[in-house]
Structure 1
Amino acid sequence: MLAWLLALPRSAKRIISVVIDSLFLTMSLLLSFVLTQNGDISQFQFMVLAFAVTLPLTLLIFTKLGLYRAVIRYVGQHALGAVIFGIMGSGVILALMFAVLGVHDKTNMVVVYALLALVTSGGVRLGARLLLRPNNNNHKTRVLIYGAGSSGRQLAQALINGEQYHPVMFVDDDTTLQRSTILGIPVSSPDNIAGIVKQRNIGRILLAMPSASRSRRREVLDRLEELPVPVLSIPGMSDLVNGSMRIDELQDVKIEDLLGRDPVAPKKKLLHANIKGKVVMVTGAGGSIGSELCRQIIRCEPLTLVLFELSEYALYAIEQELKSTISSEGLEINLIPVMGTVQRQSRMESVMRAFGVNTVYHAAAYKHVPLVEYNVVEGVRNNVFGTWYAAEAAIKAGVDTFVLISTDKAVRPTNVMGASKRLAELVLQALAQYQSKTRFCMVRFGNVLGSSGSVVPLFREQIRKGGPVTVTHKDIIRYFMTIPEAAQLVLQAGAMGKGGDVFVLDMGEPVRIADLARRMIHLMGLEVRDDEHPNGDIEIKYTGLRPGEKLYEELLIGNNVRQTEHSRIMAADEVYLTWPEMEHLLQRLDKACKFFAVEEIIEIIRSAPTEFYYTNATSDLVVNAACALLTAKQLNDVAKLDTVAGLTVVSSKPKQQIA
């Protein structure tokens, strides 16, 4: 019978609900008459007439309140509220009809009728809900929700109606909520979490704190880190508000929460200074930094945004994303996707002239340290000469402001990538002193979370696969910043430059990479396998420093640093070359690149004020392969001579240099 009822179409179920409500309302009236009138039937016919009018009006009120649209097995506060207001309305209508028909002194009957109707119509729905909803939660993962506020309650309700998680406990710092019950779920103190996890067989801890600051979330995560269960989080408040995610779409704890660093509100004046109403160009627009710059720039209302990118797919992806944002937010921005390489000055200049570019953000670069070590010539070509050509094009095209995205690896570099970025800074510093048409400045910062090559997604993937998590050195530390914050600070720093300025972003406290890996393992409910815990889940494996990598990064070359009008942006006064000196160095470097003379390239970079400390053997793959071929050929030639002369000769490997 129950299965047959559940299989009926919605229209049939609504008709049955109306019939049942009619029966219960009628029964309530009759029972109220019996309980209050002591057998007095002198006015019974008028009461029946009054009820004949009241009943259809009551059902109409129920319909208008949406009671018959509610699914009985998931009936909630809205449906019960509709019952209450509907019964109140029914009582008022019945009292009015008694007055119109001259039926007096029946207030007690009306009150009893309303109470009985509420108990029957409301009670039958609650009973049906208990009957129809499956109460077997054994197949669900038992979870604890951290946060019993509005978001926590919404999450619990969503999980109760779902099929994956069974919320068994809230914990909250608010002492007024502790020792209470919400949605039938008890609320406890965070001090009791360890005991609750063990006693209640908790399989997940869910953070329901979307509006909490990062520093507060970090405090909570510090408390949860050692517990043997995974920690998940509901989406952030912005995702919930704009509807891009539901409250029950749980996700891994964001690395920003582990850092605990709250962003500083941007200064609107600085953000808009070089962008609002102007033509802006971003090189490397499809990269991790370039694309975020574009996202931030369109919200500052430029007249035109030129996307300059070498990768066809990356250009297509960022153009489609920005088009969608511009359309959905009703922005009036001309979006120009342009393919090209920064190593062609003529292409850069023609683009800047054609669209009348006012501001350039130069984010195009090769940034991956080992790959640039393996491809020295191309790394130098792209990072040094690409910056020079872009800067010369900007001067000739009359660009007002040119901002270079630099890196902390440019400070006392130990790898070619960092050295090439320091040379790029020197190029702009020299040009800034040599001419006054274009204002050059550079912004230097450390690692950004989620960028190409970031360790965070790598660690997360390694943990999901069962490890090991690979860390280059147990003592290696790095600065971290989120991509949106870095892009926002870059835009503000660019507005403060006067010419040749080196801006350094405040990256907060450095993070030990091994500690970061350990925390990520713990927060995914796993244990690190080491000498103290041989039965742990995930091993942290130290692979050794890669070519050109150092244990820690710096942001400043000297001590000449001054504060700017933004609390997280500093300006540094650093050594530079005059333009004639810089131009001569670039000509020598260009010649060395043409002949793939890697060792000479290294020496030229060392001769500049880069403080380049390079102790590695040449890692360039092409050079090493060519040297191997040359060595093999020489040994083969020697072997032939030995055979002819009947002599034994010992040969040594020639110096790794191609000319």
Structure 2
Amino acid sequence: MKFNQKSLALMLIDSVLVNLAAFGGFYLRFEGNIPQEYFLTYYHTAWAGTLIYLFVFSVFGLYNRLWQYASINELISIFFAVTVGTSSVVLVIYFLAPMRYPNTVAVLLWLITTFLIGGSRFIGRILQDTVFSVQLPGIPKRVLILGAGDAGALAVRELKNSNYKEGYPIGIIDDAPEKQKLKLMGIPVLGTRKDITRVVKSHNVEEIIIAMPSAPGDVIRDMTELCEKSGAVIKIMPGIYNYFSGQVDTLKIRQVEIEDLLGRDQVNLDIEEVAGYLAGETVLVTGAGGSIGSELCRQICRFKPEKLILVGRGENSIFDIEQELRSDCPNINVVTEILDVKDREKVELVFRRLKPGVVFHAAAHKHVPLMERNPEEALKNNIVGTNNVAEISDLTKVKTFVLISTDKAINPTSIMGATKRVAEMIIQSLDWHSQTRFVAVRFGNVLGSRGSVIPTFKKQIAKGGPVTVTHPEMVRFFMTIPEAAQLVVQAGAMAQGGEIFILDMGKPVKIVDLARDLIRLSGLEVDVDIKIEYTGIRPGEKLYEELLTAEEGTTSTRHQRIFVAKPNAIDVLEIESLVQLVRERGSYLTREEIVEALGHVVRGFQQLPGKKKVENMSVSAR
């Protein structure tokens, strides 16, 4: 191994310590009256014993560790290194020296060496945790930590490692009775959640860290509301799925976000199964510049495809994700194609030239109100565009085709929802005679996607309000973007052909509750600093969304978060007629013709009436 200056200094110190230990062993054994013959034995063997110890210590890695972060693993390494080193020295002396060490001296040598070597390595850590941990007046914030588990210990360690520049932990709150009045890394447990306000007041706490990354969203919400009453700044340890998805580099303490209050569970991917169809493959993603499409690209790169093709219509968004992937995944061959999926000839040229083996079709018009005002564009993009990409995937022998669908395709009341249901039918009908495995993945809203409620609410709060909600009873299913993308990738690995996979969306969330939470997380008070106003349900919107029709039902899969909908009857001739109608007349179709044509294909499709006002538009959000 190569030795730097620090390693050489440690070796010099160890040389002194092992010789000091040998002398100490003799001194203690003979109570200070060491016989002359043992002096001679030590004199003739000291150099050999020192070299043996240094060699063994280097083999056990005692010269290539960061000892300021030493833990039990380093202590175990020291124990074994000293044991092997002492045994080796005793054997050498037994065979080479004029007279061997007394057994008591050998034992004392081992004990003293362990103490001295261990002490030299841990002295920095001990000083850091004791002498240097004294709070400097006026510098660190006084911090209270919620959770006396692994995450709580990690939070304490983060603060200690920063020399308390980010805050000084004065105590911990935990509901477990068995942890009360105990200490975690020297920090006392001061009570349960009902004691938060009292502890904050009595200890002058300025900041609270919620260290419960695996707690459900309702628990985090309760904790947040309790902390808000105390007046302290609230921070949180991020959920573990954020760490594995690459959203954060380390488990750093940060501000509480709306995702924390939802408490979505970590996604467990079957790595071998996913790698089996993506590793070494040419993968194409349409809509690669969008929220879901770009996250799909990030997740796909984890499995080292041979080539990743980014397809999109907007050059700026494709440029952004291309630059990100080239920087973060330099070993992935990233190819970009600017094209519109409605352009069948260009789609076919790209597929025949690049020969993708797996296709994720995320390109779509998704905004309900916009598509109500521009219904012909929804038909052209979501139906004809999907038909183009799917048929050419069949012609070019793509192995797996995954359509990104939506819960709005179920019992649709909007143009957008109906067109996405037709898209599902298109890929299911193609699957009947194709060698390509065609599947769809259906899920609800994703937090933070462009045009969704969260970014809209944040902008409204930044402007001072009001925050606008369509209806007090409006509810939606939500999941995070990385969570959705990971489950889509997993579903593709499970594809046999023809399935509509349903992602577990958890519990529906009231939109007005999201608005309230965001206002509070911004440090403001609902109806005092920021008003909530109800604007009425927009055309095509429902109060709640569904993930299944009554006829579909579901069956489970080998993944606990993914289900399969039972297929409905599909009229292939009606689908073909609709696609042909859009190809021929497209932009010239009237709204009445569009609704009628969709109604022939999507049974039960019925447009909701126009905007419904809510009485007293500035009604209190409480």
TM-score (norm 1): 0.68
Distance 1:122 1:497 in 2: 57
Residue 594 in structure 1 maps to residue 587 in structure 2: yes
Distance 1:68 1:493 in 2: 47
- 3-state DSSP of counterpart to 2:209: strand
Shift of 1:285: 1.9
Q: 1:633 maps to what in 2?
A: none
Q: 1:371 maps to what in 2?
A: 370
Asked if 1 retains the 8 angstrom alpha-carbon contact of 2:431 and 2:497, the reply is: no
Distance 2:327 2:184 in 1: 41
Higher mean C-alpha deviation, range 301-310 or range 123-132: 123-132
Q: 2:237 maps to what in 1?
A: 233
Matches within 5 A, 1:48-197: 135-160=135-160, 162=162, 163-173=165-175, 175=177, 177-194=179-196, 195-197=198-200
- 3-state DSSP of counterpart to 1:313: helix
Distance 2:428 2:122 in 1: 79
Matches within 5 A, 1:255-294: 255-263=258-266, 265-267=268-270, 271=274, 275=278, 278-294=281-297
Shift of 1:477: 0.4
Kindly provide the amino acid, as one letter, of the partner of residue 582 in structure 1: I
Distance 1:370 1:468 in 2: 20
How has the CA–CA distance of structure 1 residues 192 and 445 changed in structure 2, closer, same or farther, with 3 Å as cutoff? closer
Give per-residue Cα distances to partners, 1:288-326, cap 9 Å, x unaligned.
222233333344554443322222233233334444555
- 3-state DSSP of counterpart to 2:227: coil
Q: 1:550 maps to what in 2?
A: 542
How has the CA–CA distance of structure 1 residues 246 and 590 changed in structure 2, closer, same or farther, with 3 Å as cutoff? closer
How has the CA–CA distance of structure 1 residues 604 and 145 changed in structure 2, closer, same or farther, with 3 Å as cutoff? same
Residue 313 in structure 1 maps to residue 307 in structure 2: no
Give per-residue Cα distances to partners, 1:167-205, cap 9 Å, x unaligned.
111234555543133454212343454232332232322
Q: 1:623 maps to what in 2?
A: none
How has the CA–CA distance of structure 1 residues 404 and 612 changed in structure 2, closer, same or farther, with 3 Å as cutoff? farther
Distance 1:381 1:518 in 2: 38
Percent identity between the two aligned chains? 38
Matches within 5 A, 1:566-581: 566=558, 567=560, 568-579=562-573, 581=574
How has the CA–CA distance of structure 1 residues 391 and 511 changed in structure 2, closer, same or farther, with 3 Å as cutoff? same
Shift of 1:454: 3.1
Q: CA RMSD in A?
A: 5.6
- 3-state DSSP of counterpart to 1:424: helix
Distance 1:271 1:385 in 2: 30
- 3-state DSSP of counterpart to 2:483: helix
Kindly provide the amino acid, as one letter, of the partner of residue 202 in structure 1: V
How has the CA–CA distance of structure 1 residues 176 and 466 changed in structure 2, closer, same or farther, with 3 Å as cutoff? farther
How has the CA–CA distance of structure 1 residues 407 and 151 changed in structure 2, closer, same or farther, with 3 Å as cutoff? closer
How many correspondences in the alignment?
588
Distance 1:595 1:472 in 2: 31
Asked if 1 retains the 8 angstrom alpha-carbon contact of 2:538 and 2:610, the reply is: no
Give per-residue Cα distances to partners, 1:20-67, cap 9 Å, x unaligned.
xx9xxx9xx9xxx9xxx99x9999xx99xx9xx99xx99xx99x9999
Matches within 5 A, 1:637-656: none
Shift of 1:149: 4.2
Which consecutive residues of structure 1, in runs of 5 or more, have no partner in the other structure? 1-10, 86-92, 94-99, 618-659
Shift of 1:352: 1.4
Q: 1:405 maps to what in 2?
A: 404
Distance 2:577 2:34 in 1: 117
Distance 2:406 2:268 in 1: 23
- 3-state DSSP of counterpart to 2:335: strand
Q: 1:394 maps to what in 2?
A: 393
How has the CA–CA distance of structure 1 residues 175 and 67 changed in structure 2, closer, same or farther, with 3 Å as cutoff? farther
Which of 594, 609, 614 is the matching residue for 1:615?
609
Q: 2:95 maps to what in 1?
A: none
Q: 2:93 maps to what in 1?
A: none
Which consecutive residues of structure 2, in runs of 5 or more, have no partner in the other structure? 81-88, 90-97, 612-622
- 3-state DSSP of counterpart to 1:225: helix
Asked if 2 retains the 8 angstrom alpha-carbon contact of 1:592 and 1:598, the reply is: no
Asked if 1 retains the 8 angstrom alpha-carbon contact of 2:282 and 2:305, the reply is: yes
Asked if 1 retains the 8 angstrom alpha-carbon contact of 2:342 and 2:384, the reply is: yes
Matches within 5 A, 1:34-45: none
- 3-state DSSP of counterpart to 1:226: helix
Distance 1:241 1:594 in 2: 41
TM-score (norm 2): 0.72
Distance 1:127 1:259 in 2: 40
Asked if 2 retains the 8 angstrom alpha-carbon contact of 1:528 and 1:538, the reply is: yes
Matches within 5 A, 1:439-458: 439-458=437-456
Matches within 5 A, 1:502-581: 502-522=500-520, 524=521, 526=523, 528-530=525-527, 537-566=529-558, 567=560, 568-579=562-573, 581=574
Asked if 1 retains the 8 angstrom alpha-carbon contact of 2:437 and 2:495, the reply is: no
Q: 1:655 maps to what in 2?
A: none
